[in-house]
Amino acid sequence: MKHTILALTIFLLAMPAMAQQVIKIDDYEQEKNNDDEIQTIFKRSNRDGFYGAISVGYSPIDNTDGMVFSSRGCWIMDRWFGIGLGGTGFVNNLNQIEDYLLENSFNDRSYLAGGYGGIVIEPILASRKPVHLSFPILLGGGAIAPVSDDTHTQPYSDIEDVYFVAEPGIELEVNFTKWLRIAAFATYRYTSDIDIENVSKDALRSYSAGLTFKVGLF
């Protein structure tokens, strides 16, 4: 009987140590499995989304007032990184355009028009917050042309130069609903030199500012 009690006592005292050793083995196996698992930036457990956007804003072009109109579509991965395609159209010398609309006449080469587009990448900070920041960057190319009215009846334009463009920006976004965001944006447009007579080489290197409207699944 004494031997049985002694053996039972030793077994009970040894159980915590044995259990602790088993836990250590399980932890080791779990850590080993985690180490074997491929680590990725974008996790499957996180939610993806998408959106389409339109923007309108002001931009000085060739030292005259201009307007920009943009659109883009992006896939959002893990709520913090977007990638997609975007494009922008522009026109300058708004006073001359207003005169043309009112009088149906304007001087030769009275304004510049064109566009550009390319790939868009967009880091997004704290997208679940009602107000947050995003940083869209467009990389691509475009074309530009002076618009004239030689016939005094129908304006025409031909592409006179193409260029490379890189346009980083910042947007202050407001989550109005789960599917609608409105942002105030500011960008700076870097381009290669423009080669058009009587147009400065850096005519398109300037800032833009305006509003962006995004609709999608965020």
pLDDT tens digit string along 192-205? 999 998 889 999 99
114-154 pLDDT, tens digit each: 999 999 999 999 998 999 999 999 999 999 998 875 544 44
- Asked whether residue 101 carries a pLDDT value surpassing 80, the answer given is no
Domain range for 4 = 1-39
The answer on 54 and 2 residing in a single domain is no
The answer on 137 and 35 residing in a single domain is no
Domain count, the chain: 2
- Asked whether residue 15 carries a pLDDT value surpassing 60, the answer given is no
The answer on 209 and 150 residing in a single domain is yes
The answer on 176 and 198 residing in a single domain is yes
Does any domain span residue 44?
no
- Asked whether residue 162 carries a pLDDT value surpassing 90, the answer given is yes
The answer on 142 and 53 residing in a single domain is yes
The answer on 213 and 140 residing in a single domain is yes
Mean pLDDT to the nearest integer, 164-172: 98
Contact of 144 with 163, CB cutoff 8 Å: yes
End-to-end CA distance of the chain: 72
211 strand-pairing partners: 56, 184
